[in-house]
Amino acid sequence: MTAMPRNPDAGSGRKARIMTPKALRVLALGYLARYAASRATVARFLSRRLERAAAAGQAEADTDDIAFLLDDLERLGLIDDGAFSRTKANSLSRRGFSARGLTARLQEAGVDESTAKGALEALAEEGDCDLRRAWRYAKRRRLGPFRPPGERSDRRTRDLAALSRRGFGLDVAKTVVDATESEITQDAPASLTGGEDTSG
């Protein structure tokens, strides 16, 4: 006798989850407990879940409920695009992202242009700039002065290109790649941090 396919919900006493405003809130809080996120990122996550529920005929909430929830989470301080962008910008800066790269990453994360600009201005107020960030990137990737002395000349063009792809301007790239031997052991040496910050 052919066995009938088993319905996983049959006899289990479980009901399919209905996407109510309360369920949306539970999802949002769970997401924020796991990830640092912008308002736009949380909105996209909730919208996908709501669309899935609606397609299955299990949605009692709508997009207005998402907007109301996001406003409430902002009021409570659980969503703060300004703080999120500053934290993310700091992290990316330590990894050697240029101002151009920082802006692109923040916008990919759903941060608007004005908020992203504010995050870069906060870095600048702390003395961070593209020259410092390029030095960090060169150190991580062993470019320019961090290469064995015998390789520097042959790899100079390649190293300049690597920094350019990262979003750094040619002047910044040359300053880092052509740094003197005495600066190799220093972290963002003073001679590499003077002058005005550039956006790459």
Distance CA 44, CA 28 (A): 11
Distance CA 78, CA 6 (A): 42
Lowest mean pLDDT among 12-16, 76-80, 90-94, 189-193: 12-16
For residues 81 and 111, the answer to whether their CB atoms sit within 8 Å is yes
pLDDT band at 194 (very low <50, low <70, confident <90, very high): low
- Mean per-residue pLDDT for 191-199? 50
Give pLDDT tens digits for 114-165: 999 999 999 999 989 999 999 999 999 999 999 998 999 999 999 999 999 9
Helix axes 149-165, 170-177, angle to 10 degrees: 160
Distance CA 37, CA 84 (A): 7
Residue 119: predicted pLDDT: 95
Lowest mean pLDDT among 72-76, 77-81, 176-180, 182-186: 182-186
